[in-house]
Chains A and B, each alone.
Chain A
Amino acid sequence: MRDFVAKTAIGGTEPKQDVVGTLTFQEREDVALASVSARPGQEEALKTKLHSVCGIAAPDAGQWKKGETSSLHWLGPDQYLCEEAYTGPLELARRMATELDGIASVTDQSDVFTRIDMTGPGAIDLLQRLTVLDVEQMQAGAFNRSAIHHVGCLLRCNEAGADFSVYAPRSYAISVHHALIEVAKAL
């Protein structure tokens, strides 16, 4: 395993960082993701279990919640995306599957999405050129799906107006990153 070097989605061995004007873009390869989907009839049980496993309540539609080590994002009815620090391939999904056995289906999504954090003044101006979402109104805790540069992405607000994360499908990461940078240059 030591010989296998993991590549980041944007193609390097180190995560990409760019500073354009007042905005900083940071690729995050250090997060693990797992989708959690309630089995029929287990919806409330899943919420309870998630609370105990992740230390936070399951978020409502269009929201995400941050715990001490885990974050939960609403993906769809009774479906959540759990995020934690990356410790190894499939580890989060396997652990969650064990914890939620019989309650939910768990699928590793760590390499499905690439998270790119965007921080700094101008984030609103940037996102207004890229997403149909009303980003001016997005508060910390908002989490929505949106097309960005024609690509279906997830957009998370970490701090209103100044700190957002885009989750882009990994295979599109270079295209989405390129769009973010080029539009940032045009602000």
Chain B
Amino acid sequence: MTQNNRLQGGLIDRSKKLRFTFDGKSYEGYQGDTLASALMANDVRLVGRSFKYHRPRGVLASGSEEPNALVELRSGNRQEPNTRATTIELFDGLEATSQNRWPSLAFDALSINDRFSPFLTAGFYYKTFMWPKAFWEKLYEPMIRKAAGLGRLSQEADPDIYDKGYLHCDVLVIGAGPSGLIAALTAARSGARVILADEDSQMGGRLLADCNRFEGVSNADWVAQTLGELASMDNVRLLTRTTVFGAYDHGIHGALERVSDHLAVPEAGKPRQILWRIYSKQSVLCAGATERPIAFENNDRPGIMLAGAMRAYANRWAVTPGKRVAIFTNNDEGHRAAQDLIQAGVKVVAVIDPRGDAPRIAECELLAGAQVTDAQGRLGLKSITVQMADGQTRPIEVGGLGVSGGWNPNVQLTCHQRGRPQWFEPLAAFIPPAEMPTGMVAAGAAAGNLTSFGAIASGTNAALAALDGLGIKACPVDLPKGEDNAISIMPFWHVPGKGRAWLDFQNDVTVKDVKLAEQEGFRSVEHLKRYTTLGMATDQGKTANVGALAVMAEVTGKSIPETGTTIFRPPYTPVAMGAWAGRSVGKEFKPTRLTPSHQWAEEQGAVFVEVGPWLRAQWFPKAGETHWRESVDREVLAVRSGVGVCDVTTLGKIDVQGADAAVFLNKIYCNGFAKLPVGKTRYGLMLREDGIAMDDGTAARLAEDNFVVTTTTANAVGVYRHMEFVHQCLFPDMDVQMISTTDAWAQYAIAGPKSRELLQKIVDDNIDISNEGFPFMACGEVTIANGIPARLFRISFSGELAYELAVPTRYGDALIRHLMEVGKPMGITPYGTEALGVLRIEKGHATGNELNGTTSAHNLGMGRMVSTKKDSIGSTLSAREALSDPDGLSLVGIQPVNNTEIVLAGGHVFDENAQHLPENDLGYVTSAAYSPNLSSSIGLALVKRGAQRLGETVHIVSPVDDSNIKATLVSAHFVDPEGERLRA
């Protein structure tokens, strides 16, 4: 395939030919091409179908504002829908496919929608498909979704890496056109730390797209010279292929760097994109301006594009949409585009300008006072119809039409913090708001300075303002002389006519649609947007919004500034979900905390469970066990009859020291701690300020002024934060210091009637751990293995004779191996969190399921623990009637009448003869397990007046599981209610 539409010159590398396919057909382009320019070079003008009417569409723009030329890029798991052909850098082997068409791009069966367009106007779906109601979900919606839409997802996992990062600078310059380059140079020469970011693969902005704009130096030389200097400076970071997509509070900007998008596949291990968070003290917005079209009948024919884009294709990429083209413009820039095109060797047959006094700038026919009223060529422009100044019409044969309705400064980032742009009559466009985001200055075309000299002058001035804000003395920069003629424009938004004239190409919104919205009362711009879908989707109406506002202003009789704009929100251009996620995907969604025995547990074949960030052994299957219950039952029975060991390192540990440590804990816990003797541990319950139970655990007094507080695994951080709050804000004068030691100690629960026998072989010889020497709730520092310091606590979660032994974490692996070796003759059994749960339910110990943020101490059967002899956090409010109501919920045990039936957590409790209605609800099951000791399913439940109902038969009903079992309310202490075992 020859590149028929390729011109001479351009910034492409003709020595590097690249092959690519579009809809399966093979083409050639050059290094430096975009997919759009390469298609244009190969005379491919039809590149897509429109969203609703499936109208044939071609390339409209040359940058990220492109609404039409959206393709599916790549294939397989790297397939990416809705990718703009105008920003895709060509690479060898590139595969692109057109979207939203069937069976082919040239013949699309759903283009029949276009024939039915009178029935499919704006808001049609709000008025139709209303009946029958049931059809919406099953028929109408799927049908509409199939008929209208953009590209398809591959439904496969993205194989690429996305990184995130953080950058800091004094001055962030957004956009590297003439104003951005000079702003960066001004700031950098003055010593400021500068980041210059541009969404393009090459810096230079419009200087790459227009003919020479400066005196005595070509655009290319000036850009190269400026960039060369910037690149040589240590205080400058140049970010190409990087879109600053959002401006947030405090000078924070979001930016997406497309590191590998221009490659077929990223280099091994390298990211495809990086999402940067840039912290800037000052920012200079030099994002340029976007040209807008003029609406006229059939102005969406493939081959009709923005005049500035046509100019860019000719100058930068050396391509033209056709051998013969025309320009339709209401401003001088359109004439300059014609001038550039002629210089590039394109035949410009006419410049059509509705201004009667249009200047003659280009060496071609000028049709002043004329306007284009129609275009012909369904799959590619063939001719246009021009209404001359005298009212006559004239057909003109062209393969391309460049349209310029003026330029809209890219003000989006100046409005991300709810700024409202201001109308600037000389340009007939919105410019940045008077009140800019703190630290932001706009320059160049983004600020409405469309001339070359105006752009660089405002760029350097903006940098000077930024430097002033930073207190940096500025170094002057010599500015090249450039053209500085004010741009003359006559606002001209659409050509009157009966046919459909397109405003928003991406969403198929026409002038008629805007008028219809007004007729139906959707006059506010925000309503107009929602009713017509104007300005939505990937381009966010960059080429469409102002034109549509102008039409709305026209029909409502208001001015454009009175009509206003919709709110601009980030992102400026689309950001892939993968980039937002970064590396937090799959197994690396979040970091994992490992226990000291993790490696050993893996060797045992343990099954692990996520407990917050921790991975804990859930059970340890043995050979021959085919169901988890077999393993768990075995582990539970082993603890009750022999000895078991469980890694409990995950419980939070807080070292509390200071002369007021005991007084402080007396405030934190609702029960008394002030008189706890040294060498003793006490169970403690913490309440929230509102009296609800917050967390429970133990506090061990190692010295007069030193406690170790333990928390539940889940609340370790929350409790520490709470304690810091209480100290810093409520009792700052107390002599208390605390620090987390959760990671410092590997801690194992050693439980069961043989636990003392085992421990006697673990602790060093001189340590007395007899019942008398180390009674229930004792604690102390010991040594093991001939001198390793350790801490021993005689506490029990299982209800058995039990201890917790802690060693410095680096010895945790050695300790578990040692325990297992020494305990072998006693039948030591490791147990996991599942058995831990069964043991505590059998014993009636509350945990997170019961301390669920709604329960009081009274509900949990611990009402009497709330000391009335002292003031503690939450004690006053825990006395509220609702929290201490004797008829309220209280914790009980439940056991099925038929022990083959299973109690499920979450089931609701009803009187035996009551209807299962909310008003008869007595409470709910909080925890459930199978007890191998009782050979029955058991549970804990919060039941109204539960303590008084023991022995009653109730129904446990779960609509979720569709279950209903008969059960007896019993004591929550299924095992050893007198507590003899743990004191043995």
Given contacts A4-B818, A39-B737, contact A111 B168 (CB under 8 A): no
The 6 closest A-B pairs by CB, nearest first: A175-B591, A105-B657, A111-B809, A37-B737, A171-B593, A105-B737
B591 touches A112 (CB 8 A): no
Q: Report the contact-size class of chain A (Cβ under 8 Å from the partner).
A: 35 or more
User: Within the complex, which residue of A2, A90, A107, A183 is in contact with B789, where a contact is CB–CB below 8 Å?
Assistant: A90
B590 touches A150 (CB 8 A): yes
B785 touches A107 (CB 8 A): no
A176 touches B591 (CB 8 A): yes
A residues with a Cβ closer than 8 A to B are: 1-9, 11, 29, 35, 37-40, 79, 89-90, 104-105, 107-113, 128-134, 136-137, 149-151, 169-172, 174-176, 178-179, 182-183, 185-186
B163 touches A39 (CB 8 A): no
Known: A108-B741, A112-B741, A176-B591. 18 other contacts (CB 8 A): A4-B811, A6-B810, A6-B814, A7-B599, A40-B735, A79-B737, A89-B811, A105-B705, A107-B739, A107-B741, A111-B744, A130-B165, A132-B279, A169-B593, A170-B744, A170-B809, A182-B583, A186-B270
- Set of chain B residues within 8 Å of A9, measured between Cβ atoms: 810
B788 touches A4 (CB 8 A): yes
A2 touches B788 (CB 8 A): no
User: Within the complex, which residue of A2, A89, A150, A185 is in contact with B269, where a contact is CB–CB below 8 Å?
Assistant: A185
B167 touches A6 (CB 8 A): no
B167 touches A128 (CB 8 A): yes
- Set of chain A residues within 8 Å of B655, measured between Cβ atoms: 107
User: Within the complex, which residue of B277, B595, B811 is in contact with A6, where a contact is CB–CB below 8 Å?
Assistant: B811
B658 touches A7 (CB 8 A): no
A174 touches B592 (CB 8 A): yes
A171 touches B163 (CB 8 A): no
- Set of chain A residues within 8 Å of B810, measured between Cβ atoms: 6-9, 29, 89, 110-111
Closest CB of chain A to B501's CB: distance in Å? 49
B815 touches A4 (CB 8 A): yes
Mostly, the B contact residues are: mixed
Contact sample, A vs B, 7 pairs, CB 8 Å cutoff: A6-B810, A6-B814, A7-B810, A111-B808, A112-B741, A134-B279, A172-B591
Closest CB of chain A to B168's CB: distance in Å? 4
User: Within the complex, which residue of B168, B594, B741, B818 is in contact with A171, where a contact is CB–CB below 8 Å?
Assistant: B594
Residue of B nearest to A3 (CB): B785
Cα–Cα distance between A185 and B266 once the two chains are bound (Å): 13
- Set of chain A residues within 8 Å of B808, measured between Cβ atoms: 89-90, 108, 110-111
- Set of chain A residues within 8 Å of B596, measured between Cβ atoms: 7
Closest CB of chain A to B716's CB: distance in Å? 11
Cα–Cα distance between A90 and B497 once the two chains are bound (Å): 88
- Set of chain B residues within 8 Å of A172, measured between Cβ atoms: 591-593, 613
Residue of B590, B614, B808 with most partner-chain A CB within 10 A: B808
- Size of B's binding interface in residues, CB under 8 A: 59
- Set of chain B residues within 8 Å of A38, measured between Cβ atoms: 737
Given contacts A35-B739, A150-B590, A150-B591, contact A132 B163 (CB under 8 A): no
Given contacts A11-B599, A171-B593, A174-B592, contact A111 B743 (CB under 8 A): yes
Given contacts A171-B614, A183-B163, contact A111 B591 (CB under 8 A): no
Q: Which B157-191 residues have C-beta < 8 A from chain A?
A: 161, 163-168
B370 at interface by CB-CB < 8 Å: no
Q: Which B765-801 residues have C-beta < 8 A from chain A?
A: 785-789
A175 touches B592 (CB 8 A): yes
Residue of A nearest to B787 (CB): A1
Cα–Cα distance between A6 and B813 once the two chains are bound (Å): 8
User: Within the complex, which residue of B168, B735, B743, B788 is in contact with A134, where a contact is CB–CB below 8 Å?
Assistant: B168
Cα–Cα distance between A67 and B596 once the two chains are bound (Å): 32
B814 touches A7 (CB 8 A): yes
- Set of chain A residues within 8 Å of B742, measured between Cβ atoms: 112, 171
- Set of chain B residues within 8 Å of A110, measured between Cβ atoms: 744, 808, 810
Cα–Cα distance between A84 and B754 once the two chains are bound (Å): 41
B788 touches A37 (CB 8 A): no
- Set of chain B residues within 8 Å of A105, measured between Cβ atoms: 657-658, 705-706, 737
Closest CB of chain A to B658's CB: distance in Å? 6
Residue of A35, A89, A149, A169 with most partner-chain B CB within 10 A: A89
B296 at interface by CB-CB < 8 Å: no
Closest CB of chain B to A155's CB: distance in Å? 12
B614 touches A132 (CB 8 A): no
- Set of chain A residues within 8 Å of B584, measured between Cβ atoms: 150
Q: Which B929-970 residues have C-beta < 8 A from chain A?
A: none
A4 touches B741 (CB 8 A): no
Residue of A79, A105, A137, A182 with most partner-chain B CB within 10 A: A105
- Set of chain B residues within 8 Å of A134, measured between Cβ atoms: 168, 279
Cα–Cα distance between A169 and B818 once the two chains are bound (Å): 25
Closest CB of chain B to A167's CB: distance in Å? 11
Residue of A149, A150, A170, A178 with most partner-chain B CB within 10 A: A170
- Set of chain B residues within 8 Å of A151, measured between Cβ atoms: 591
B274 at interface by CB-CB < 8 Å: yes
Cα–Cα distance between A8 and B599 once the two chains are bound (Å): 12
- Set of chain B residues within 8 Å of A79, measured between Cβ atoms: 737
Residue of A nearest to B167 (CB): A128
Closest CB of chain A to B735's CB: distance in Å? 5
B505 at interface by CB-CB < 8 Å: no
- Set of chain B residues within 8 Å of A185, measured between Cβ atoms: 269
Closest CB of chain A to B259's CB: distance in Å? 9
- Set of chain A residues within 8 Å of B269, measured between Cβ atoms: 182, 185-186
Cα–Cα distance between A171 and B786 once the two chains are bound (Å): 26
Residue of A nearest to B728 (CB): A77
